[in-house]
C-alpha cells in the first residue's frame, strides 16, 4: 500500500525535483517481483546483507528486518526529517507535503 502510494505520486515528487527510493531487507529477486507486480516507478533496493539497514539505524530488535521509517534527505545529503511512525495509507501524502514545505522554505 505504501509503495503504491509513492508510485501514484511519482510525478508530483518529480515536479519537486525529488527522488523516492525504497529499501528493504528482501532479496533482489523478491524486490524485482514486488516491483513488477505493483508496477512501481521508483527504485526499490534490496539490502539482504543489512548494510544500509544498519547504516540508517533501522534494524529491528530481532536483527533481521528493517523498521518502517522514512528519511527526507536534501541535496546536500542532510537528513531533514525522519518519520518514525508510518501509516502506510497516508504516509506518501504526508511526505509529499513535507517536501513541498521544505522546498518552499529553501531548505533543500
Dist CA 67 CA 29 (whole Å): 21
Read off the pTM: 0.84
Domain encompassing residue 24: 2-104
What pLDDT score was predicted for residue 64? Answer: 74
What's the structural domain count of the chain? 1
CATH of the domain at 59: 3.40.30.10
Phi-psi region of 57 (alpha: psi -120 to 50; beta: other; left: phi over 0): left
What pLDDT score was predicted for residue 63? Answer: 74
Contacts of 91 (CB under 8 A, 6+ apart): 2, 5, 70, 83
List per-residue pLDDT tens for the chain, 108 residues long: 899 999 999 999 999 999 999 998 999 999 999 999 999 999 999 999 999 999 999 988 777 788 889 999 988 888 999 999 889 999 999 999 999 988 766 555
Amino acid at each position: 500500500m505504501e509503495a503504491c502510494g509513492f508510485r501514484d505520486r511519482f510525478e508530483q515528487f518529480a515536479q519537486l525535483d525529488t527522488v523516492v527510493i525504497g529499501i528493504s531487507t528482501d532479496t533482489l529477486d523478491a524486490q524485482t517481483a514486488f516491483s513488477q507486480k505493483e508496477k512501481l516507478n521508483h527504485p526499490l533496493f534490496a539490502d539482504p546483507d543489512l548494510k544500509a539497514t544498519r547504516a540508517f539505524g533501522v534494524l529491528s530488535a530481532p536483527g533481521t528486518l528493517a523498521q518502517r521509517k522514512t528519511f527526507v534527505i536534501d541535496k546536500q545529503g542532510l537528513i531533514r526529517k525522519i518519520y518514525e511512525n508510518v501509516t502506510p495509507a497516508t504516509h506518501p501524502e504526508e511526505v509529499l507535503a513535507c517536501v513541498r514545505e521544505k522546498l518552499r522554505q529553501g531548505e533543500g
